[in-house]
Amino acid sequence: MTDFIKNEKNGVVFLTAPTITVRHGFTTRAGGVSGGNFASLNLSYGRGDPAENVTANYRLLGRALSINVFSAAFTKQVHGAEVRICTDADRAAPGDPTPYEADGLVTNVPGLPLLAFTADCVPVLLHDPAAKVAAAVHCGWRSSVMDILGTAVEKMASLGSVPADIRAAIGPAIGSCCFETGADVPEAIDAWLGRDAEKCYWPEAGAAGRFMVDLRAANRLRLICLGVMPENIAVSSECTRCAPDKYWSHRWAKGGERGSQCTVICL
Ligand SMILES: [Zn+2]
Model confidence at 192, pLDDT cuts 50, 70, 90, reads very high
**d(CA 136, ligand 1 centre) in Å:** 23
Segment 150-172 mean pLDDT: 98
**d(CA 240, ligand 1 centre) in Å:** 7
**d(CA 175, ligand 1 centre) in Å:** 5
* CB-proximal residues (5 Å) to ion ligand 1: 175, 177-178, 239, 241-242
Q: Which pTM does this prediction carry? A: 0.98
Residue 156: its H or E element: helix 148-157
Of 86 and 256, more confident = 86
**d(CA 237, ligand 1 centre) in Å:** 10
pLDDT tens-digit readout, 77-97: 999 999 999 999 999 999 999
CA distance 92 to 252: 31
**d(CA 110, ligand 1 centre) in Å:** 36
**d(CA 46, ligand 1 centre) in Å:** 27
Domains of the chain: 5-173+227-266 (3.60.140.10)
Q: Give the pairing of strands 5-9 and 12-16.
A: antiparallel
Q: What pLDDT, on the 0 to 100 scale, is given for residue 1?
A: 65
